[in-house]
Structure 1
């Protein structure tokens, strides 16, 4: 099953060459420019279009294989305690589940030209049966949960505030069925206090469906509810990132929003959490390089025991292919 599901290396090499050759037309050149301008496959400055395109296409094909390895083959993901497969792959009945996945995908491949999508759709089906649709939850954010705050950004006079945004890091519950942890409540209170003191016009709460394993609750959404219903922060002042699974991606995803939602690029944002958590943020560069391959933020001053300044870096737009629940 695994061999049938995945792209073979010779197939990847062949498809990369075909794709590169078929994007040399005028329409293809427009696509290449949009791809390079997006910076989503690393910084494009100094790169040739052929090189950047091949890197992007190869990365996506190999990312499909990675999903299949983890969510069909039981390979350990980067964080097995929260992201591992939902099934016992040594159970004989599991093979019948994989057979059902294969049959389902083949029903959608009625024409030879659709064969290209077999591995992609297999990866998506495997994420689905593992209940791992985290990457798409609450999307599109700009039109749903972040709509009021997104619209308020354009009307905000940021010169009235010392900082553009306050990122509040979560503290995942330890008990299954607990929507928000005591730490999450206290950090939300820190954020509300800073907001009402006028430090920043927007609060960002960041945290996905992470702790404990297979929790039904999205941390950022529960913190938003707490900020609104308990602490009286207006919805138009709250942005959420419901995807981040680690402190590294709390900062990375917030940096992406700062770059793409219209925040002033010359102004620092701030991040608040517990003292040891902010200590960790200040010493997280090596971890970012190890797990992401880049540092998605620039740190500024630590203005209190629980708050430190940061700015987004353009590198934060880069996709992380071995984190399919929050790439």
Structure 2
């Protein structure tokens, strides 16, 4: 390589190093957007008295159900035009008095004289007022959420996410962990979509992680224990709903952590139970297959829920966990 080519190579390399986002830069960007959101949630709480963690949970829920949102979008709540401006306000006039005249819900949250459907402060203030129409207590908020979304799973998801935000006092909760202890022997491969025969021909909705009996099983994420108990197919199982509208399914357990109960808030790394071979029969059935953890993930988009392949996520979380343990 001659000196001119060498100089060009190093010039390109320097440009790439400058332009490519480093982990530190990425974390700074993340911190900035999350802190801005939190500040807006708390400002809305101050003027409406609706706790910030409910406001944050609504925004977080909608961030997961709308497609193609930019990563740096500040607020993701989308209130339908007809609800915001009112029936008959075909010109979408932003004057709050006109909107009220047409029985719209849009409000001026930042005092600029306009109820702007694209302004983050106006959106949060308006949504808070919509939810508070039934009163300020938690039961009232639940009714307000049901009246707006008309879906029980959505109401439950928002309530659980609000509990997580309240407990950890922040919305920047991006840590993850691998579901099986790295200090034990285990193996896994992609098994999503494989055929299963028990109970009739069906498709495998997860990844099997093989390990010895008693190997600790951990939470991969922040969330709330939504299911706990026996399942014909999964044996002793746990279902956790996280703050991204994803249901995490842990099956074939040998048992649960002593203090774990329905409704508990968990974080990455919390021990949930241990690996077993329970399932494929009535309560207590065990040993019909080698001990392993069945780990499944199910996405909710506000209308329905479906399984997707957890294997790529497990590989990523395994690397994250190993990196933290170095």
Fold conserved between structures, TM > 0.5? no
TM-score normalised by L of structure 1: 0.28
| More helix, by proportion | 1
| More strand, by proportion | 2
Q: Which has the larger radius of gyration?
A: 2
| Structure of higher RCO (CA pairs closer than 8 Å, 6+ residues apart) | 1
